[in-house]
Amino acid sequence: MSEREFIVPVGPQHPALKEPESFLFKVDGEVVLDVEPRIGYNHRGIEKAMEARTYLQNLYIVERVCGICSNAHQTCYTQCVEEVLGMEIPERAKYLRVFMQELERIHSHLLWLGVAAHEIGFDTLFYYIWRDREVVMDLLEMVSGNRVNYAMPTIGGVRRDLEVADFPKYHKMLDTLKERTEYYIGVCSSEKTILERAIGVGYLSKEDAIRLSASGPNARCSGVSCDTRYDLPYLVYDEIPWNVIVETNGDVLGQVLVRVKEVLESVNICKYVLDNLPQGPIKAKYSPLGKVPEGEAVSLVEAQRGELIHYLQSRGDNKPYRYKIRAPTLGNIPSLVERLKGGFIADIPIVLAGIDPCFSCTDRMAFVDEGKDRRWDMTGEQLRRYGIRWYEK
């Protein structure tokens, strides 16, 4: 078997938002043998900066760790700090936090679905989905005042309240989302263009998903029933009726089905919250310059992409001594590598997009095909078009 060397560093830009990242692929002909991810383009030194700011100032930098999961990071942060403070937040605040988190899950999954459609070359679906996603963006703006980076959770509760008079409007918007999502489930399960690119592509078995500590929809599409909202319940997820969505396909189609069905689950949770919102205050008392007693806490939250963990060590100051954040995608990289092995070069864009990566990755992909002694670079866009052309044959 002859091996050829191709190095394909892909340019650090991608039309459908991707974060900067570099991959080194070892290929043999059209088949991928091994992958080495090179991350760190998005490293801003946040953990160090957090040690120099007060707890309330950190709320706003934590939000900007990732713009799509900003609410998840804030929920996790406030939970962590409140646990060390020993503070119990009011019931109404818990329900409102759940409401915001599920709305963000809807917006993120719809965004992902559009991007995945774009990766396959199905641009019409991309535009349709993003047009329908504007419904949830409007809802977010009505509730929190901003389309992205809502800053709703704060230490002690939430920052803004909902007006009962607006509930019928919210219900109507949620019903629209439900109807459109059901339409997209139908499209994704039956449209030949999608099925051809998605079935059997990027397969990961259940054993591998457990062995490599995968989490989130990435693991649930391979049959692993793990969801932080169910395993380690926080806020009021143990009071609200909802289901963990698990698919057994293990391939890209499984990723699509898990996420789209989760949108429906989230819509149901949001409607339940609106119908069962308890009365009461939305914030407990917290003084902005207050000191946090000595202690440590681990906070786990089910973000859109998987399991998110924050770890705080406090030494009795008004600034954290050590704050550790691990975003879900870092945990999903080993399983991503496993998915790519044995696949074709043409499948790389969709498998990469399949795990819903959220590290500023500049689609910089390098290919190494040991044998032909050639080093070759490909940009994300070229790779995407290569994949589309390859399947058209």
Q: Is the dihedral of CA 354, 357, 360, 363 positive or negative?
A: negative
- Categorise residue 325: left if φ over 0, alpha if ψ from -120 to 50, beta otherwise: beta
Shortest distance, position 86 Cβ to another protein, whole Å = 10
42 near another protein (CB under 8 A): yes
Distance CA 79, CA 301 (A): 9
Distance CA 16, CA 384 (A): 11
Distance CA 50, CA 61 (A): 8
16 near another protein (CB under 8 A): yes
Q: Within 320-339, which residues bind another protein (CB under 8 A)? A: 322, 324, 326, 330-331, 333-334
149 near another protein (CB under 8 A): yes
376 near another protein (CB under 8 A): no
Kindly tell me which residue out of 75, 101, 215, 218 binds another protein, with binding defined by CB under 8 A.
Answer: 215
CB 43 within 8 A of CB 333: no
Choices 64-72, 184-192, 197-205, 284-292; region in contact with another protein by CB under 8 A = 64-72
11 near another protein (CB under 8 A): yes
CB 119 within 8 A of CB 16: yes
148 near another protein (CB under 8 A): yes
- The first and second tokens of residue 293, run together, are 């007693």
15 near another protein (CB under 8 A): yes
Kindly tell me which residue out of 64, 169, 172, 374 binds another protein, with binding defined by CB under 8 A.
Answer: 64
HSE value, Cβ hemisphere, 13 Å, CA-based, for 79: 22
355 near another protein (CB under 8 A): no
Q: Which of 267, 311, 288, 305 is nearest to 47 (CA)?
A: 311
Shortest distance, position 138 Cβ to another protein, whole Å = 10
Distance set, CA 243 to CA 133, 220, 222 (Å): 23, 12, 17
Shortest distance, position 350 Cβ to another protein, whole Å = 16
Q: Closer to another protein at the Cβ: 128 or 167? A: 128
45 near another protein (CB under 8 A): yes
Shortest distance, position 165 Cβ to another protein, whole Å = 25
Kindly tell me which residue out of 30, 31, 34, 60 binds another protein, with binding defined by CB under 8 A.
Answer: 60
Identify the residue whose tokens are 């995968």. 214
358 near another protein (CB under 8 A): yes
Distance CA 380, CA 388 (A): 12
Kindly tell me which residue out of 134, 163, 182, 373 binds another protein, with binding defined by CB under 8 A.
Answer: 134
- What's the DSSP call for residue 378? E
Choices 156-164, 168-176, 188-196, 294-302; region in contact with another protein by CB under 8 A = 294-302
- Per-residue mark of binding to another protein, 156-175 (x: CB under 8 A): --------------------
- What's the DSSP call for residue 165? G
Q: Do strands 22-28 and 364-368 pair parallel, antiparallel, or not at all (unpaired)? A: parallel
Shortest distance, position 89 Cβ to another protein, whole Å = 15
